[in-house]
Structure 1
């Protein structure tokens, strides 16, 4: 039985409490030059917003609180702080869109590497770095940082063959839980960021840091929302990856250490079981103390059953400038 309070639309004498044609008229006001997809999305949005207001009998004060909350999101956002993206993540919306966009399975039940949310910290400006001995650690290793050799093979979901010349784009926070552009006092631009191309055997390898759990910034609307919902702001430690090749469906994902205490309660709901990995001790390498093998599987673009692309270029926006 649903616990949600039902809202009656008629009085005891049969009179309508709300104008039954109002929402329809608002949707019908969408002009003829509106493209079909925008018409579908905005019509549905209007319908759901109006239904939400009626079902919950939204008060004027509550509506104004919501309007002010949206205004604050815009006011606090900057080219390096995407608060709208962060609030979307706290509400779980990006994870839902990610699930819709990346759903594929072969006839034998096999799936490619799971996707995960992009998050607000990706940069289009990360440079390509050399594969042999390459590293995304461009500054001195921070206090508490554990250098890791990360390596693996990128393969085809269908043929199982390695994929040469695939681009592995990686970014992560430093040991203090901050990304380069959040931390100009301690990090240079593009520290802990880089792109690598797989070799003829589909292999990649580079040095990075064991990731660190961190708190979302709580000094803005996302923090207000988390406090209202009695939730913590912590993200489990993770490394971001974006893997692409012109003949394959790109995958954006995150991987998480199996020992992290926030795996089950990730505040942006992005953890998936097959993205949890084990870091192991590395011996005989003066550059690293840990080893991480992570193999990646891509699906050919010709394989059916895909969702719609979820790249940031869909609507012409970049996650950050």
Structure 2
């Protein structure tokens, strides 16, 4: 029988016969925390109905390009927490961060040294790095998937017909020494989409929608744990207040100005240009 004091116990007991132990544990904990929250704030029927409307609107905002539920998870810090718990680097590996809502298309395979910039707008930049294991040995043939916002703070999927499809995206294969390199432009900080329920939530709570400037990097290799991470631009606004809590100190790197005409020409870049080196340490598969 239901009563206020034992509400969580009553509902949790209904999952006692769940055949999957993990499902049983997750649902039992979810119910206990949810009931504790409702009691803590003494949620009214009107507020609960408003919450259901909010979640319904969030679902309606999702399509093939935009995932508003990921955005909601991001701004609540849940995406970052789940990723951090799942990929505990423990000081040996490169730290992880959120994938974000814009990794929704397959990145086009590109050769090492290619440019992912298809428009020519923005400050030219060379990105280099080497993939290694915790012992320092190279991880040859690692797959390095990258995607980023442009110099105006937009992803290609946000401006279809204005910028080329798959602009600032690329899938690279590291060489025999685990090294990778590509040409791009320095990304700009940008606001997450604010024209939906998540944007209204930020406005209602007095929060800004901006992400610090970054390049997304996802690295995979046989026998290694896939790493989802970012390279953040040192000095970018919002490093200390990223809207999705994605910044970790170890991932903030200088995009140094290089004034070397010969080196620029060797990489097919105008002079001067920016350069960031991002070493990646992959952990073994669990």
TM-score higher than 0.5: yes
Paired residue for 1:88? 73
Paired residue for 1:134? 114
User: SS where residue 157 of structure 1 aligns?
Assistant: coil
Q: Which runs of 5+ in 1 are unaligned?
A: 1-17, 303-321
User: SS where residue 249 of structure 1 aligns?
Assistant: coil
Q: Aligned to 2:39, which of 54, 65, 80? A: 54
Tell me the alpha carbon deviations over residues 272-315 of structure 1, each in whole angstroms, 9 at most, x when there is no partner.
0000010112322141421111111112226xxxxxxxxxxxxx
Tell me if 1:29 matches 2:14. Answer: yes
Once superposed, what is the RMSD of the aligned Cα atoms?
Answer: 1.7
4+ residue segments displaced more than 4 Å: none
Q: Superposed, which structure 2 residues align to 1:1-321 within 5 Å?
A: 19-30=4-15, 32=17, 34-105=19-90, 110-131=91-112, 133-137=113-117, 139-142=118-121, 145-158=122-135, 160-282=136-258, 283-284=260-261, 285-286=264-265, 287-288=269-270, 289-301=273-285
User: SS where residue 281 of structure 1 aligns?
Assistant: strand
CA contact (8 A) 2:128 2:278 kept: yes
Tell me the alpha carbon deviations over residues 196-233 of structure 1, each in whole angstroms, 9 at most, x when there is no partner.
11111111111011111001111111111111211111
Matched residues in 2 for 1:26 and 1:213: separation?
A: 45
Matched residues in 2 for 1:211 and 1:140: separation?
A: 13
Q: Which runs of 5+ in 2 are unaligned?
A: none
User: TM-score if structure 1 supplies the norm length?
Assistant: 0.82
User: How many residues matched?
Assistant: 277
User: TM-score if structure 2 supplies the norm length?
Assistant: 0.92
Matched residues in 1 for 2:6 and 2:74: separation?
A: 34
Question: Which one has the largest radius of gyration?
Answer: 1
User: SS where residue 181 of structure 1 aligns?
Assistant: helix
Matched residues in 2 for 1:136 and 1:104: separation?
A: 29
